[in-house]
Structure 1
Amino acid sequence: MANDMLRVVDLDKENRGRKKWMMAVFLLLIVTSGALLYLWWDKEVAFEAYKTDVEKTSKNSLGRLTLHEVIIDDNQILLNATFEPVKTFTSEHQIFFFPQILINGKDYMVRNGGQSIAQSTEAYTIYNSVKMDNLPKDDHLKLDIRYKDWNVETPIEEPWEFQVEASQEQLQEDRHVFTVEKKVKHVDQQEITIDRVVSTPISTTIYFYAEQRLVNDAMPFKIQSKGGKTWLFKEPYSLNDEGTKWGIRVDALYLTEKHYKLFPVDMDGNKLGPALTIKKDD
């Protein structure tokens, strides 16, 4: 679709109290296949056990925004909404919104991204993926969701607001953790520590950290199964202002075997060092 859009922004955590955004990465793509976030609500992908149905509508002078459902993943929240503008609606901005989410009254956000799909001139589907750090592990979370920004710098005068109690009880049962805590040399001989790998039916994330800010954050990895199947992780994102804590995620990948191999690679996928054997925690 020519009107599909994907955007990703990192958040300025130092200015969270003033609720400002800093665009460290700004990505605008023309998506021809309707893939990416849309896949998370594709009827062929069985994520029903992890969804919280909302079906609530909020109105303002711009139109109606209906929040259909929420999925809580490991340090990630996915949102599915529909925007129906008023008939007199005109805007200098592209149809895309960045929600702010407070969890149990606190802000854990580190990155906000999503996709906008024009279904017609009267309806737009809005998908969002909000990355978090240290998301609480409670079975039920209270979400305060405010769609408050058109883009990185332009606020919406009357934000659409939703209060949702979302469950991650099933996710807690199905989450697999592979504790690693091993050091490796990566790009430019930078030494990092692989903390852990966390896998759910929705995504798999490698968490790693360094003693000092990374000079080069282009740090892809590969994970390989016993049967030789490999998955490339190539888009890390920072989890703190110091640039020392990082995550790197592949969506729709669920690691169910007990052992895997993990190794650092360059941007062409070539190994940079020996593989680490990772084992699922008991």
Structure 2
Amino acid sequence: MTDVAPLSRNARIYIAGHRGLVGSALWRRLSDRGFENLVGRPSAELDLRDARATAEFFDRTRPQVVIAAAALVGGIAANAARPTEFISDNVRIQVNLLDSAVSWGVERFLFFGSSCIYPKFADQPIREDSLLTGQLEESNQSYAVAKLAGVAHVQAIRRQHRLPYITVMPTNLYGPGDNFDLESGHFLPTMIRRFHQAVRDGASEVTCWGTGRPRRELMHVDDLAEACHFLLDCYDDYRPINVGIGRDMTIGEVADLVAATVGYRGKILWDPSKPDGTPQKLLDVHRLADLGWSAKIPLEEGIRTTYEWYREHGEARPE
């Protein structure tokens, strides 16, 4: 690990996926901190799966810093329905971004792994050195394999080209701009939508997937954006670094919290015929804490503001 200088406010920073959950939070964070030279392109204008288009974009814009927040993501249902796209699209996106970054002299690159690419039965809390030490969770294997390839790609670039590119391993995320689709979304935003619709329709029961017993760590995406800014300013290490809050709760407890936030007072039923996913995913965040950073947004507050965002923006979308 070597010293890196804090990001210059004049740096040209390309946020790939700047309209998504993570990318939009990073854009807000950096804009609020005085970074005025931010670059973003929607997927309709730039298909990052296209190597030639990606290289031409880098040639035109010449970013100095790249944050790779573009990816195909989704919950258990989406991963099960589209495993081919989850491996193919993600591998192509990250290969094209990393290859173009090296070719066009990008100085700093932040790649996102995920807590879900750790082994299914890793010791808890999960340390960064648990990567590749056991079997993956079957329900998201394609996504995990693609992301593991990206982690290895970053490490290869560091060895061969001596560039200070880094990998961040975020825990489960939520917040404004999340995907609330009942088929493709992650469990927290889909819970918000289910309970909201139950209140709206006067339903007396809501059924959630699985048993409710798995434990999950949940972090607001604005905390992740702050952590990424912090790490780009000071972190230079070949090892991925976990970003989380260091605490978890059962999915059943999360459901109770969402129901209370939304104002739902009916029954919560569980469908054990649906998969639970990994039993527990709690990240060991000691390395990040030792650097001087910790999350700030309490879960109750985060769910409340996310629900407010959904009521203002999400309901306008087709159901």
TM-score, length of structure 1 as denominator length: 0.25
Higher strand share: 1
Query: 1 or 2 for the larger relative contact order (CA 8 Å, sep ≥6)?
Result: 2
Please, what TM-score do these two structures have when normalized by structure 2? 0.23
